[in-house]
Amino acid sequence: MTTRHIKQLTLLGHSTTRYPDSPDTARLEAFPNAYKGRNYWVRFDCPEFTSRCPITNQPDFGHILIEYIPDRLCLESKALKLYLFSFRNHNTFHEEVVNRILDDVVKAIKPRQIKVSGKFNPRGGISISAEAQWPEE
């Protein structure tokens, strides 16, 4: 990776971190895929995901798994962490969380293939799992 590519990663290497307050203000960053001639899977496992119920405003806790085959770009992990953190005070349904993450990652890096899974803790005795993938089969 060249110095030019490193300078494009604006969230890494700072002594202070600005936490975005919503997914709309968060920024996903990427770096060039050094192995774009090969298909390989990248997995990000976020077992402490939090968002808020759009009806009750109560916190919802879940486990998000993002799996993708990069094309030209790879997701930078700190930017992804801050992006996922931005859902903490965001009111949304579980199904929307998974689809929003998928759409935002596809827009940011245009992977060859991606799957986003969410397994959310029970609320009222029912747990919800949702999965979205691109391209659709």
Report the catalytic residues: 53, 60
Look at residues 39, 47, 28, 32 and name the one whose alpha carbon lies nearest to residue 2: 32
Burial (0-12, 13-18, 19+ Cβ within 10 Å), 48? exposed
CA distances (Å), 99 to each of 11, 52, 125, in order?
24, 16, 24
Which phi and psi (to 5°) does residue 104 adopt? -70, -40
Q: Is 37 helix (H, G, I), strand (E, B) or coil?
A: coil
